[in-house]
Chain A
């Protein structure tokens, strides 16, 4: 099993994701350069956080045009798991691989703090090992995480169970006080209609080791690994 982490110019959580996947989960990890038009030999792709291309124009917009993205799109189309974290989520939105758009945080400021999110869907490779309603604690760190989708689209997303996470309080209640950025309906993460592409604003890689205060984020990566292993078992068996 080999996991790929895309490196855009301006990514700044790429090394963190590599660290967690390689040293905490003990997996084979390869860095995927934004300028390479192909991604071969990987079983999952992570688009890390940061400020790809400085987030100039709009967060994630320029990165969505980079040479690697057609390959990421094709990988996703063939059912490959793709995870976008924070800026990676913004890139997936701008690339049209996930529905919706990001606005500036309603508080108009960058927000870095731990939040709680509730698992709303277990149909993605990254959440299938979790329980619906499970509450996870992990940090956010973003200035544009105010999720928006216009009305008909929002209805579709919700009906087709594409909302993967919502901001909630420590008890799992989805309340406005727990919404750190003004996201519509407290949406913290969404997935593609097939479920194999997931984007979320919180940083699971920053909550993957006890010493950093939470291991809730690691469950997403462990879920992915278990999902990939079960699929391999099916293929082999």
Chain B
């Protein structure tokens, strides 16, 4: 069993109106240093034998994201990993499939 964690957001060039509204709200609450709020979707997909980065990428491209307007990144966690990973460096992003295994 392995869980793939996928984050889908609007591409940088696309107006994220919801993100902007949240940013305004944060500013109103006094968090004026906030400069860029992006709203996206988070998905967890669990499979018995895990997923290859290529397969995950294909899943995102065909269905979980809309490549015209969205980009995605993902990582894979093995079962019973209680801690959420803290990534450093490159993440798998967009159409360049690279998976990061978190141990």
Which residues of A pack against B, CB within 8 Å? 57-58, 61, 65, 94, 100-101, 103-108, 148-150, 153, 182
Contacts and interface: CB of A to CB of B under 8 A. Distances in A.
Contact of A57 (B10, B14, B64): B64
Interface residues of B, number: 12
Given A57-B64, A61-B63, A65-B63, A104 B17 contact: yes
B52 to A, nearest CB: 21
B69 to A, nearest CB: 5
Contacts of B66: 58, 61, 94, 101
Nearest to B10: A103
Interface of B: 10, 14-15, 17-18, 21, 41, 63-64, 66, 68-69
Contacts, number: 34
Given A61-B63, A65-B63, A108 B18 contact: yes
Query: Which of A101, A103, A150, A153 has the most chain B CB atoms closer than 10 A to its own CB?
Result: A103
A106 B68 contact: no
Nearest to A65: B63
A9 to B, nearest CB: 18
B66 to A, nearest CB: 5
A3 B17 CA distance: 39
A106 B15 contact: yes
A148 B17 contact: no
A57 to B, nearest CB: 7
A68 B63 CA distance: 17
Contact of A103 (B41, B64, B69): B69
B68 A100 contact: yes
A61 B61 CA distance: 12
Given A108-B18, A182-B15, 18 more contacts: A57-B41, A57-B63, A57-B64, A58-B66, A61-B66, A65-B63, A100-B68, A101-B66, A101-B69, A103-B10, A103-B15, A103-B17, A104-B18, A105-B17, A106-B15, A148-B69, A149-B68, A153-B68
A153 B63 CA distance: 20
Across the A-B interface, give the 4 residue pairs with the lowest CB-CB distance, nearest first.
A101-B68, A101-B69, A101-B66, A106-B17
